[in-house]
Amino acid sequence: MPAMFFADKQAAITSIAYLYGEAARTSQLGQECLAALEENSGFDRIRFVNLEGESFASDGKIADVADRDYFTRGVQGESGAAVIMQSHFDGTKLIGFYAPVRMNGEICGVMIGFLEEETVSDILETDVYGYPAFTMIVDQDGASLGQYLAEGYEKATGFSSLLPYIQEEERKTTREALEAQTAVSFSFTGSHGLSAGNIQPIAGTDWSLVQLFSSKITKQFVDEVNRDEWFAMLLFALVLVASGVQFIYFSRKKAALEHHKEERERMIGLLQSVADEYICLIRVNLRTGKEEQFRLSRGGELKDWAEGNYTYDHCIESYADHIVCEQDRSRFRHATQLVFLREILENRRILS
């Protein structure tokens, strides 16, 4: 779930950076635009950083962030994730996703969206068999970037504060897995005895997800089966692995569908909030499954451009001439040829 969530955030900030650059070509953008982006984008904070390293906030405040790694990378055309241990604005810890902003093909700044610790904590909430798990995101050095505090756990400063609870013979392995960003499972001692935990790398970042499952699960299992503790622990571990895989798979699948729908609705609202005109037409290529974008010069209804002749070819030609930007017209006409549509419909008829 965190990996999927962060991937969506990276895609969102890339889209926002593109829209901001397109809108900046025709109008002067200020803090009102940043405020609208914050309200509709799903980020807690949105910042635009110009080429001098000045970071502009939605409340009008400005801070010098030329020393930040994300600024250096962003103005070089890179995009990615960043951790801010102490904000130049208010000193808070933030997780950010950034992308370069281009105007007329040239980089004019960097757009970055931030998530606060409380937001990160909410997405990390995890339950197993009705018991909440302690979940924390850490960097390769083990520093905590955000955590969900389950009942009975204290806030951890980082992975090092968990090491005393991990079985001594497994501490080196877990530490190496964290540094190398590889997955590993381990045992630890909780308030109710021995239990299990794991480390999972988060794709697309230098971060890892650390989870500790409540030792109450083990105790309950031991109490219900009248067997010695070690056999029960072994049996629990097997059940946890099998059920955990199913739990993660189905919860991620459900979350993916719900989150995809939410992101789509949010991006539609975002488009409407930052521009008076349509910026692009998104078309799904049914043969490849990929999306293609065509920039539009304006919006309009069928009667505005079809001129009474509603044949397919005439509609496409008229739409391209009246609505699609001149630079994209040739590509749009080729992508929407009737021969392609017939081929797709014929294949669908045969398969049916």
Q: Which helix (H) or strand (E) holds 346?
A: helix 338-351
Greatest mean pLDDT among 74-83, 323-332, 341-350 lies in 74-83
Taken in order of first residue, the domains within the chain and their CATH numbers are 2-116 (3.30.450.20), 124-224 (3.30.450.20), 280-351 (no CATH)
DSSP letters, 217-232, are HHHHHHHHS-S-HHHH
Please give the structure tokens belonging to residue 194.
């021995």
Average pLDDT over residues 77-82: 93
**DSSP-assigned beta bridge partners for residue 135:** 148, 211
Higher-confidence residue: 38 or 241?
38
The answer to whether the beta carbons of residues 34 and 57 sit under 8 Å apart is yes
On the 0-12 / 13-18 / 19+ scale of CB atoms within 10 A, 80 is: middle
**Alpha carbon of 179 to those of 141, 156, 197: distances in Å?**
7, 18, 17
The pLDDT of residue 155 is 77
83 has pLDDT over 80: yes
The answer to whether the beta carbons of residues 207 and 138 sit under 8 Å apart is yes
Higher-confidence residue: 36 or 109?
109
Greatest mean pLDDT among 18-22, 96-100, 217-221 lies in 96-100
Query: Mind listing the pLDDT tens digit for each residue in 188-247?
Result: 876 666 777 888 888 878 888 888 876 665 555 555 554 555 554 555 555 555 445 444
Q: Give the residue carrying structure tokens 């219900």.
A: 224
269 has pLDDT over 80: no
Mean of per-residue pLDDT scores for the chain: 75
Predicted TM-score (pTM) of this structure: 0.59
The pLDDT of residue 274 is 47
Q: What percent of the chain has pLDDT over 90?
A: 16
The pLDDT of residue 302 is 46
